[in-house]
Amino acid sequence: MLREQHRITERKPLLKEDGTLAEEGWATDLLLEYDKNKINASWLRFKEWDFYYIIDHKRKHCLTCTIADIGYLGLIAVCWLDFNMKKYVHFETMTLLPRGKTGLLPHSGNGRVSFENNKILMKYNYSLPKRHITIEAPDFRWEEDEWGLTADISLHQDPNLESMVRATSWEKNRKAFYYNQKINCMPAKGTVRLGSKYYEFSHDSAMGGMDWGRGIWTYVNQWYWGTASGYLDGKSIGWNVGYGFTDSTPASENMLFYEGKAHKLDEVTFHLDPKDYMKPWKITSNDGRFEMDFHPLINRLTKVNFLLVKSIQPRLFGYFTGHVVLDNGKKLNVKNFLGIVEDFYNRW
């Protein structure tokens, strides 16, 4: 039996005076107003990030980049993946005790976010409908004699594009919350240079997604996540599926996107072998509207064990094959559609 999921429809502050969420549920835009200055919690518990992935389905390559602030550590990371070669290089730098002062915005709209040290320069410039990403990482090493990565990529966010937004808390601590927006299906264009070689992203074959996350987290969490953005018969299609942290009773984060419109899903289940992530995965749904097999090409595995932080993050890139069902009952079949799944464990 499908449950009733609560939809947020009015703008208001995210939190009540007592520090709990004013309203829990889902939306298709950031209606609740996040104000970090009104949060009465230790900076150790703050978790904020802007993460992007850009996949060119024709050229079979991908760029991901992250600016994150988890209170006692800042993380700036870039990853380049070549699906034909089944190869990736992940490059990151950390800062100690940023204490929520990395400069991430309280919203996903217009503004600038940047980080620079002697290892990397990363800038996000948001002037909607354009999201502009520039990266310079001179120590990035793709081949033995190919040093340096630069990226200049623009994403187009249509003003009418709907997204997945969810505000939920933890059952054991209602003052711990996660406010999240996933923006799928943004056409991308630009260039990445690795050493002396250039790689293109074209708007007719490349799409990107953004994971905007803000919250006060509990210490230990594990989650599953899957996402994809691209074209199906010339029309934009994507999805966001996942679960595993916070109380999902008010709403799941599962949603389809087709031609810019959101189609809300109920629950999904990830079926995988945690001893061998390169084996095929399966994702099923209780409403029959998301049924996918996932065949991994690359396991981008990162591990951190530093001071208070322990993180094990296998993120798999590969092909989705299966079907989805829209709100109107229309069934769409997809085959060998590039996307991402992950099984993350974080003690942070």
Domain map of the chain by residue range? 17-32+46-347
Tell me what pLDDT residue 305 has: 86
Identify which of 41, 156, 59, 47 has the alpha carbon closest to the alpha carbon of residue 100.
47
Tokens representing residue 60 in the block: 């079979």
CATH for 17-32+46-347 is: 2.40.370.10
Using 50 as the pLDDT threshold, list the residues of the chain that sit under it. none
Pairing of the two strands 32-33 and 12-13: parallel
Tell me what pLDDT residue 335 has: 99
Alpha carbon 91 to its chain's center: 18
Alpha carbon 107 to its chain's center: 15
Give the neighbor-by-neighbor strand order of the sheet with 290-306: 261-264, 255-258, 235-243, 220-232, 331-347, 309-325, 290-306, 281-285, 268-271
The torsion angles phi and psi of 45, rounded to 5 degrees, stand at -95, -10
Tell me what pLDDT residue 332 has: 99
Tell me what pLDDT residue 1 has: 65
Count other C-beta atoms under 10 Å from residue 336's C-beta: 10
**Spatial distance between the Cα atoms of 80 and 329, rounded to a whole number of angstroms:** 37
Q: What is the pLDDT of residues 117-162, one digit of tens each?
A: 999 999 999 999 999 999 999 999 999 888 999 999 999 999 999 9
**Spatial distance between the Cα atoms of 47 and 167, rounded to a whole number of angstroms:** 14
